[in-house]
Amino acid sequence: MGANLLLFYILSSQISDILSFYHKIKADWTYLCNTMNEIIQCIDAGNTAIKLGGFKQNELQEIQRFDSFETLSKYLSSEYPIVLASVREDDFAIQLKENFSIYEITSQSKTSFHNQYQNNLGADRLCNVAAMYARMKKNNHNSGGITVDIGTCVKFDYLNEAFNYVGGSISPGISLRLKSLNDYTARLPLLIAPDHKASLYGNTTSSSIYSGVMGGIKGEIEARIAEFRKLNANTAVFITGGDAHYFDFEQKNGIFADENLTLKGIHEIYVFNALHS
Residues 6+ apart with CB under 8 A from 58: 35, 36, 267, 271
Strand order in the sheet with 153-159: 114-115, 164-172, 153-159, 145-150, 236-240, 255-257
CA dist 171 to 57, 155, 175, 220, Å? 36, 7, 12, 10
Please report which helix (H) or strand (E) contains residue 186, including its range: none
In 3-state terms, what secondary structure has residue 12?
A: helix
Cα angle for residues 104, 128, 131 (degrees, 5° grid): 95
Which residue in 44, 124, 149, 258 is the catalytic one? Answer: 124
d(CA 91, CA 240): 26
d(CA 237, CA 241): 13
- Report H helices in the chain: 2-36, 69-73, 92-99, 123-138, 174-183, 205-231, 261-275
Judge whether 124 counts as a catalytic residue: yes
Write out the catalytic residue numbers.
124
